Structure 1
Amino acid sequence: MSEQGESAGKQQMVVGKSRFRYNSPLVQVCLIGLVCFCCPGMFNALSGMGGGGQVDTTAANNANTALYTTFTIFGILGGGIYNILGPQVTLISACSTYVLYAGSFLYYNHHKHQAFAIAAGAILGIGAGLLWAAEGAIMTSYPPPNRKGTYISIFWSIFNMGGVIGGLIPFILNYNRNEAVSVNDGTYIGFMCFMSAGALLSLVILPPGRVIRDDGTHCTNIKYSNVSTEITQVLKLFSNWKMLLIFPASWASNFFYSYQFNNVNGFQFNLRTRGLNNVFYWGAQMLGSVGIGYIFDFSFPTRRKRGFVGIVVVALLGSAIWAGGLANQLNYSHDKPPAKLDFKNSGSDFAGPFVLYFCYGLLDAMFQSMVYWVIGALADDSETLSRYSGFYKGVQSAGAAVAWQVDTHKVSLLSQLVVNWSLTTISYPLLVILVLLAVKDEKSPEESTNSKEVTLPAADDGAVGGLTKLR
């Protein structure tokens, strides 16, 4: 064996021994999980308070409508932008917008002017579209094909720990303010500190070409892109039958947030209890993602069978949870508001709505992990999956924008619940069809050696968005 070949062999052996290398898929998925822990995780905790922590939900609803409107556009475009800019530039630009959004509610706490919050929401929509397209590409393309469910559950657990910690911030800082109607300044400042840390942490995310799996192969074949290519490929998504089948699940997957946050947590509980509820809501997400991740990776020998079983499990559990939600919703309405529940003073009346809200968090994680697993099973390369993930987040955000305005216009709470239940229910058979037609079983180890390290030619000087080296 030549000296060069022997050196390469040794390097291959070293690579295979540790999953905790900085350039391993596991470490990189954990790092993007931490970025999302600090930014969207804290945003989720803020939104989960109901009305952004304010007694009047109008400002938060309008800000979220602006947010999800721009998110719709940049979610769809985000995959193309990620393919051109790479992860670090995309992520730090995106994360910075979360800090601005939390700051706008700090301003609103003093001046009660909606304009800043609405503008910050629109800017955050741009950033969120970029962040989630990048996150989707990393989470679905970096892991080994037969462990995508596991890696998705690892990401989802780390990300939602942000919601748990974020829920503790308003709970602790407002614990003695039992009669308060909006959170204090320290709550928003705490969120801003975490979000700023997430923006800085995004700089350590590696591009796909520098991430190496345990067998020594690169996680994806890199193809540098340009603006015209990405515009063409993004437009093709709207006629792609796979994306059309995933459309209802995408629309449904954030549509229920306005109902759950404002009309379950915000409507039924007082301020400090809403913070406590969020700790358990996002904690339930961690449990849900781990459970469904196990089913999608380990329950049966073949990937397609695991997909079918996973979708059926989510469908059955989802139906049971929404049925419980219906039983709870029949007890109150806009015209017959309930007495605010407190975790210390409401006794047994607190238990039922609390368990329901916990189960909503469980279902959210299982539903979204299911969709991400299906997307990840459709391809292995980062370039394609970034576009698929961007499409998913764009459609998801369009649904959310509509939902926040539905709530602003005080549509019947019972009608909101029925629509949410119907949307999720329609999604399941379409995902089963997609798995049946488009998801292939994994190749044997001998066949799965296609992911080779590639030598990248320098882009022509005139190519728009071309890159000549790995970043």
Structure 2
Amino acid sequence: MSPESKKQMNIIILGVSFMFMFTAFQTCGNIEQTVIKSFNSSEFHGSGYTSMSIIYAVMSTSNVLAPSVVAVIGPQLSMFFSGLLYSGYIAMFIYPYTWTFYTASVLVGIGAAVLWTAQGNVLTINSTNNTIGRNSGIFWSLLQFSMLFGNLYIYFAWHGHVHITDKDRRTVFISLTVISLVGCFLFFLIRTPETESAPSEVSESLLEAEFSESTTTSSPHSGLCSQALDAFVQVCKITVTKEMLLLFLPLAYSGLELTFYSGVYGTCIGAMTGFGQDAKSLIGISGIFIGVGEILGGGIFGLLNKNNRFGRNPVVLLGLITHFVAFYLIFLNIASDAPLAPEAGTDKQAFITPNVGVAMLCSFLLGLGDSCFNTQLMSIIGFMFPDNSAPAFASLKLIQCVAAAIAFFYSNFLLLHWQLLILVLTGFLGTITFFAAETLAESNRRESSDYGTI
């Protein structure tokens, strides 16, 4: 097998590993608030929304330390041990206690930062300038398939169940734990790419990008603490640039709507008694439609949008319109107290008789709109910060994670219509500032082109 074939196989293994892990974890996040409502235990008083808020808050602060961990133990072991933390979080639901629930949330937040840093490193060292786009597309597509398989399992496992019993819960979470562990051990199939005599076409790995400044200004013995501090300083510098400040609102919006489609909306569907006895199992079908929207959008706007002469603005505008249509239909179809309803659900109706078809259409639109925003945000940040891509993407994750943590926190007490209002306002203002950022990016590109012709 040629070195290039081995690298491509590494990317496929990486994508399949993440597909298994996030088949388990995303399914867990989609159903956990519904499951928690069904507990018949006086020893458990946790909230799925609070747990996810903790995960994203801890992840946002752990991003600056994650490169140091990957540098010490390598990307393969980093992904394996981080994956074990994900598996432990899922397994906790088999016999849940409040203290283990929130402790696992903190550990997953740390593991998530390390996992995604290591993933970026593996993707980079197995790619060249000519293959990075293709490999990113392969990884993205395989990852998004995780939205299909786990949710399909939930549909069949819970079909016709009005109440989620302890046996139902244990069966599902034992299965999800095993699926997650399979993904962890698949990381060991990734092989270190062969060193070629010619310099790699990829100018820097993820970790080299994080520490490029620190290695030129400090001694080799500065230590991990100094490296972590330098990485943090770089992220802070990128975050307060004019370009990133313009992208602050669209990045924050991407974190808010991530919270809504990955945790809140599924809970709302499961709480609607108007959907009949299949309401709980419809959570799985909703997740599948979100995944279909993500895969379709990622394919069209990621893989097939390399030379878009119209720029990024039309895609972002399409994402905003798609989301606004979804929010309006959700407002009409889902009762306002659905996010906070007890395990028995809510008998209230919104403005129309609850319609399953409309609910599933909204799921698809949420996934499609999310892919519109995320593909273009990654594109413009890579375009604006080509020489500092690692700290720029760390800044992206920082803003998204903080916004997601805030959204999961307020989901504990805000009714649905207030959550939708926050999304509408942030999405509208974020789209305007994205347009301004795109104008600035094009202006800088033209200036650079003019200087190059002198």
Indicate whether the TM-score tops 0.5: yes
- Given the superposition, is the C-alpha separation of residues 98 and 434 from structure 1 closer, same or farther in structure 2, using an over 3 Å criterion? farther
Structural mapping, 1:231-380, within 5 Å = 231-240=229-238, 241=241, 242-269=243-270, 270-300=279-309, 308=311, 310-331=312-333, 332-334=335-337, 339=347, 349-378=355-384
Residue identity over aligned pairs, in percent, reads: 17
Q: 1:259 is aligned with what amino acid?
A: F
Structural mapping, 1:68-107, within 5 Å = 68-107=56-95
Give the corresponding residue for 1:344: none
Pairs aligned (count): 405
TM-score, normalised on structure 2? 0.77
Cα deviation, 1:21-51, whole Å, max 9, x if unaligned, reads 11x2x33333322222122342112212251
Mapped to 2, the partners of 1:121 and 1:252 lie a distance apart of: 23
TM-score, normalised on structure 1? 0.75
- Given the superposition, is the C-alpha separation of residues 51 and 175 from structure 1 closer, same or farther in structure 2, using an over 3 Å criterion? same
Ranked by relative contact order (alpha carbons within 8 Å, sequence separation 6 or more), the top structure is: 1
Q: Is the 8 A contact 2:33 2:49 kept in 1?
A: yes
Structural mapping, 1:385-464, within 5 Å = 385-408=389-412, 410-425=413-428, 426-427=430-431, 428-433=434-439, 435-436=441-442
Mapped to 1, the partners of 2:291 and 2:314 lie a distance apart of: 23
- Given the superposition, is the C-alpha separation of residues 40 and 311 from structure 1 closer, same or farther in structure 2, using an over 3 Å criterion? farther
Mapped to 2, the partners of 1:358 and 1:96 lie a distance apart of: 31
- Given the superposition, is the C-alpha separation of residues 395 and 77 from structure 1 closer, same or farther in structure 2, using an over 3 Å criterion? farther
Q: Is the 8 A contact 1:153 1:286 kept in 2?
A: no
For residue 135 of structure 2, the aligned residue among 151, 159, 180 is 151
Q: Is the 8 A contact 1:101 1:124 kept in 2?
A: yes
Mapped to 1, the partners of 2:448 and 2:70 lie a distance apart of: 27
TM-superposed CA distance for 1:210, in Å, is 4.6
- Given the superposition, is the C-alpha separation of residues 75 and 438 from structure 1 closer, same or farther in structure 2, using an over 3 Å criterion? farther
- Given the superposition, is the C-alpha separation of residues 435 and 196 from structure 1 closer, same or farther in structure 2, using an over 3 Å criterion? farther
SS in 1 for 2:65: helix
Q: Is the 8 A contact 1:52 1:105 kept in 2?
A: no
SS in 2 for 1:296: coil
Cα deviation, 1:48-80, whole Å, max 9, x if unaligned, reads 225163336952112112211211111243245
Mapped to 2, the partners of 1:106 and 1:39 lie a distance apart of: 17
TM-superposed CA distance for 1:315, in Å, is 2.1
Mapped to 2, the partners of 1:327 and 1:170 lie a distance apart of: 25
Mapped to 1, the partners of 2:162 and 2:195 lie a distance apart of: 49
Mapped to 1, the partners of 2:373 and 2:332 lie a distance apart of: 25
Q: Is 1:195 equivalent to 2:180 in the alignment? A: yes
Mapped to 2, the partners of 1:438 and 1:190 lie a distance apart of: 51
Mapped to 1, the partners of 2:158 and 2:165 lie a distance apart of: 10
Q: Is the 8 A contact 1:71 1:129 kept in 2?
A: yes
Q: 2:426 is aligned with what amino acid?
A: L
TM-superposed CA distance for 1:141, in Å, is 7.0
Q: 1:38 is aligned with what amino acid?
A: F
Give the corresponding residue for 1:33: 15
Give the corresponding residue for 1:177: 161
